[in-house]
Amino acid sequence: MTRVSITTVGNDAVAAFALAMERSGCDDVISRGDRVVIKPNWNGVNVQSSTSVRAVEAACRWARDQGAGDVIVGEGPVPLARERVDASFKEMDAEARVAAAGARFVNFDDEEHVIFRGKPDLPEEIGIARLALEADVIINLPLLKVHSCCLTTLCVKNLKGCLRPEDKMAFHRVGLLPAVVALNQIVRPAINVIDAIDAMEGDHSHGGIVHLDRLIAGRNPVAVDAVGCAQIGLDPTDVPLLRLASEAGLGVHGLDEIDVVGAPGEPRQFELVQDHLARKYPDLTIDESGACSACRASLMDGLYIAGKTRQVNSIALGSDAKPQPETLVLGKCLREYWPTHRHIKGCPPSGHAVAQGLAGEVP
């Protein structure tokens, strides 16, 4: 049976990480001199929605203790303005703290990518960070949080950060879930750890923090994600991304097929993105029929940025939506309505543009 461990962190993340590795049977993965790439979820949006630096430091120190040669913390953030991404990394003090833990931080966007063409379920051409492909060992280290399209964004989804910036949006257009599964056939982390110290519910960027104080670890990303989902009240067999990944042979996602060891603690029921929207914006009508995840993410961003300035309470996005006359329409899928409706152009529209539209600042 695939083994997944749950470990309480407390005050000593370094000791907790080592214990998580031992419990999950990951402590013989690294050989002396290996090049290890640690892949956090450092999205560049904000610190709260990123893997904690504590967990990353602990992973760096553990890898060094295992005899790793070069230890790299690598991430390709969300394709935002470079200044915003750099400000987020600076706020974390990422470079200095990673260096103090015996590793070096690399923004994959500044590095070489290996090109793949014509692969099933993927955009016609994608580029994957060479450092990730050529690592002896990848430690996949996402934050535990919910997601508007995938329900959660954990180990399987986290590998999207190995792509070139332009590929990330292309993934949304071809179908995010099958594309992410196909990516996992190419990039294969040997160690998978969910940072569930301060997890996020309600939204994947601006949600509420839930202190769970746990690491969830194992060799198989699908099994680790399954246990992560169960910890936040989701039945992993109801999570489409895990079902697809399991069908593709990437791992098991039924809890009865996973040996869960350590300190499971009580699962907590997390608020999912759609529930959060309905609760926070009860006056808002959203027709998102046929919308892809990129447009949904822009809407979430826009709602957050607009805050109390929002004037609009009817929004439509996606190719099958049927906007009413007063509806604000988002994105080029609904361009047939542009001549008659207030609208935001783009594919996807930017979060800031959506916020302006929500504040009534577009004709």
Q: Which residues bind ligand SF4 (CB under 6 A)?
A: 173, 291-292, 294-295, 317-318, 331-333, 347-348
Q: Which is nearer to ligand SF4, 236 or 349 (CB)?
A: 349
Q: Which is nearer to ligand SF4, 54 or 204 (CB)?
A: 204
3-state DSSP assignment of residue 322: coil
Query: What is the C-alpha to C-alpha distance for residues 347 and 349, in angstroms, rounded to an integer?
Result: 5
Q: Which is nearer to ligand SF4, 294 or 315 (CB)?
A: 294
Minimum gap (Å) between residue 264 Cβ and ligand SF4: 38
Q: Which is nearer to ligand SF4, 58 or 303 (CB)?
A: 303
Classify the C-alpha dihedral 307-202-59-250 as positive or negative.
negative
Cross-strand pairs, 72: 37, 104
Minimum gap (Å) between residue 188 Cβ and ligand SF4: 29
Angle at 249 between CA 145 and CA 134, to 5 degrees: 75
**CA-to-CA dists, residue 153 to 38, 48, 238, angstroms:** 17, 14, 15
Q: Which is nearer to ligand SF4, 177 or 317 (CB)?
A: 317
Return the residue nearest ligand SF4 (CB atom): 331
Q: Which is nearer to ligand SF4, 253 or 343 (CB)?
A: 343
Minimum gap (Å) between residue 154 Cβ and ligand SF4: 23
Cis omega (within 30 of 0) for bond into 189: no
Q: Are 261 and 291 in contact, with CB atoms under 8 Å apart?
A: no
Minimum gap (Å) between residue 301 Cβ and ligand SF4: 12
Minimum gap (Å) between residue 104 Cβ and ligand SF4: 35
Residues 6 or more apart whose CB falls under 8 angstroms from that of 329 comprise 315, 316, 317, 321, 323, 337, 338, 341, 342, 343, 344
Minimum gap (Å) between residue 115 Cβ and ligand SF4: 24
Count CB atoms within 10 A of the CB of residue 70: 15
